[in-house]
């Protein structure tokens, strides 16, 4: 049996950063040095090829063009490799993993995002375990097929569905969680897969990549004290097409006429409004409280248990596909690749 072939793509992030001795700030460095720091990679039972963004970035500079670059590299190398590992800064990794899950339709190979909290050269780094296990996961096969055939994120002993993740700590190695969906695998003495949570296998279809995103969107987070002037200004941004409204608890928002009136006018103008909870976990259930009943009535879309990261990328993706206005709500409320339930 030939060894699995893995493409390791470095986009940037702490994992490959070094300290600028003058300022003390972390900056990205040459990817080749990253591999010099991990001779252990040679012991893995797979062939690894590496690629790097020409200009690796701190993931705070992530945007739709960088997503297109990642998707193009996967598309161009799809037939030549059995799995893909994307090294990415942790700050926006959950957004990129969500975006790629929508872009890569009919994916039947693993795309595993990982990174680290400490640079790979640091004595106490978490990078080596994250990188080595991510590669092992990407190279695992079952009955001659890749074991995990979706966009996932591996960090600190857990493999998650990428579009279910959120970054929860700027300090702990355990930086990610998946509040509303169980881990797909856990790494301990053994690598334990929870196959019952994988996306169901579908009939083989060629990979199809969608590159179009529409960034005329915004995230609007509710807070006690939000006023009509502010909300109105946000919703009247020229060419704005959709907002993700981060509401309280199970999808609740101010019930005053001024609030509902501004939202209703925006929806009548054609703006898509998606309700997600600003809670760490749980789901939106419009109509459970009076404070969300009106939202449902005026046509606000339910984000159910989707993360804000997946909601905003799904909105940009659906708008980019020019989904007819009348289908948008139904499509958003439908799971496209396991992002909501
Ligand atoms: N600022 C870094 C980034 O997201 C943090 C990290 O890599 O974890 O690129």
Q: Does ligand 1 come within 6 angstroms of the Cβ of 186?
A: no
Active site residues: 14
Three-state SS at 5: strand
pLDDT on residue 131: 95
Is 10 domain-assigned?
Answer: yes
Q: Same domain for 233 and 164? A: no
Q: Using the 8-state DSSP alphabet, how is residue 171 labeled?
A: S
Return the H-helix or E-strand segment holding 139: helix 127-139
Q: How far is the CA of 56 from the centre of ligand 1 (A)?
A: 11
Candidates 10, 57, 60, 118: which one to mutate for ligand 1, based on the most atoms within 8 Å of Cβ?
60
Domain of residue 297, CATH code? 3.40.50.40
pLDDT score recorded for residue 35: 65
In a domain, 338, yes or no: no
Residue 103 lies in a domain: yes
Co-location of 196 and 221 in the same domain: no
Domain boundary among 178, 209, 240: 209
Is 58 a domain residue?
yes
Question: Which among 335, 264, 272, 268 has a CA at the least distance from the CA of 306?
Answer: 335
Could you list the residue range(s) of the whole structural domain that residue 40 is in?
Answer: 5-209
Does 192 share its domain with 300? Answer: no
292 and 274 belong to one structural domain? yes
The DSSP line for 272-306 is EEEEEE-SSS----TTSSHHHHHHHHTTPEE-TT-
| Judgement on whether residues 278 and 294 belong to the same structural domain of the protein | yes
The DSSP annotation for 71-113 comes to: HHHHHHHTTT-SEEEEE--STTHHHHHHHHHHHEET--S-EEE
- The residue among 179, 209, 239 that closes a domain is 209
Q: Answer yes or no: do 240 and 102 share one domain.
A: no
Is 340 domain-assigned?
no
- Residue 337: inside a domain: no
Substitution site in 89, 113, 120 for ligand 1 pocket (most atoms within 8 Å of beta carbon): 89
Yes or no: say if 146 and 109 are a contact pair by the CB < 8 Å rule: yes
pLDDT of residue 265: 98
Query: Considering the domain boundaries, does residue 184 fall inside one?
Result: yes
> Are 257 and 308 found together in one domain?
yes
Instruction: Decide: 119 in ligand 1 pocket, CB within 6 A.
Output: no
Rounded distance between C-alpha atoms, residue 263 and residue 90, angstroms: 34
Q: Which pLDDT score, from 0 to 100, does residue 83 have?
A: 98
pLDDT of amino acid 25: 83
Same domain flag for 189 and 231: no
**CA atoms of 238 and 274, how far apart (whole Å):** 19
Instruction: Indicate whether 13 belongs to any domain.
Output: yes
Q: How many helices (H) and strands (E) does the chain have?
A: 9, 20
Query: Do 16 and 127 have their domain in common?
Result: yes
**What is the domain count for the chain?**
2
pLDDT of residue 33: 62
Distance of CA 101 to the CA centre of its chain: 7
At residue 24, the pLDDT reads 80
Give me the CATH number covering residue 184: 3.40.50.1170
pLDDT in tens, the chain (341 residues): 789 999 999 999 999 877 777 888 877 766 666 666 678 888 899 999 999 999 899 999 999 999 999 999 999 999 999 999 999 999 999 999 999 999 999 999 999 999 999 988 788 999 999 999 999 999 999 888 899 999 999 999 999 999 999 999 999 999 999 999 999 999 999 999 999 999 998 889 999 999 999 999 999 999 999 999 999 999 999 999 999 999 999 999 999 999 999 999 999 999 999 999 999 999 999 998 888 899 999 999 999 999 999 999 999 999 999 999 999 999 999 999 999 99
Residue given tokens 């981060």 in the structure block: 246
* Atom number of ligand 1 nearest to Cα 14: 7
pTM for this model (two decimals): 0.96
Last residue of a domain, one of 209, 227, 252: 209
Q: Whose CA is nearest to atom 7 of ligand 1?
A: 89
């Amino acid at each position: 049996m030939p060894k699995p072939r893995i493409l390791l793509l470095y986009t940037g992030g702490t994992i490959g950063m070094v300290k600028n001795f003058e300022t003390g700030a972390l900056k990205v460095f040459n990817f080749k040095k990253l591999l010099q720091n991990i001779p252990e990679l040679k012991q893995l039972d797979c062939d690894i090829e590496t690629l790097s963004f020409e200009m690796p970035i701190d993931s705070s500079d992530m945007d739709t063009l960088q997503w297109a670059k990642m998707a193009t590299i996967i598309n161009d190398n799809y037939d030549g490799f059995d799995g893909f590992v994307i090294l990415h800064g942790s700050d926006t990794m959950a957004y990129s993993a969500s975006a790629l899950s929508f872009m890569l339709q009919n994916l039947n190979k693993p795309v595993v995002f990982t990174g680290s909290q400490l640079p790979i050269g640091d004595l106490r780094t978490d990078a080596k375990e994250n990188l080595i296990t991510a590669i092992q996961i990407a190279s695992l096969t079952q009955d001659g097929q890749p074991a995990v055939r979706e966009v996932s994120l591996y960090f600190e002993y857990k493999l998650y569905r990428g579009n279910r993740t959120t970054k929860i700590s700027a300090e702990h190695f355990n930086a990610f969680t998946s509040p509303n969906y169980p881990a797909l695998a856990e790494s301990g003495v053994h690598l334990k897969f929870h196959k019952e949570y994988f996306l169901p296998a579908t009939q083989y279809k060629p990979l199809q990549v969608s590159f179009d995103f529409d960034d005329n969107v915004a995230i609007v987070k509710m807070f006690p004290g939000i006023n009509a002037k502010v909300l109105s200004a946000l919703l009247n941004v020229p060419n704005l097409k959709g907002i993700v409204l981060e509401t309280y608890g199970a999808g609740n928002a101010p019930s005053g006429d001024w609030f509902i009136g501004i939202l209703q006018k925006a929806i009548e103008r054609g703006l898509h409004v998606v309700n997600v909870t600003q809670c760490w976990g749980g789901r939106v259930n419009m109509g459970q409280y009076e404070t969300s009943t009106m939202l449902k009535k005026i046509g606000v879309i339910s984000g159910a248990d989707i993360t804000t990261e997946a909601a905003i990328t799904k909105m940009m993706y659906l708008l980019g596909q020019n989904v007819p206005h009348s289908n948008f709500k139904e499509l958003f409320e439908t799971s496209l690749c396991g992002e909501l339930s």
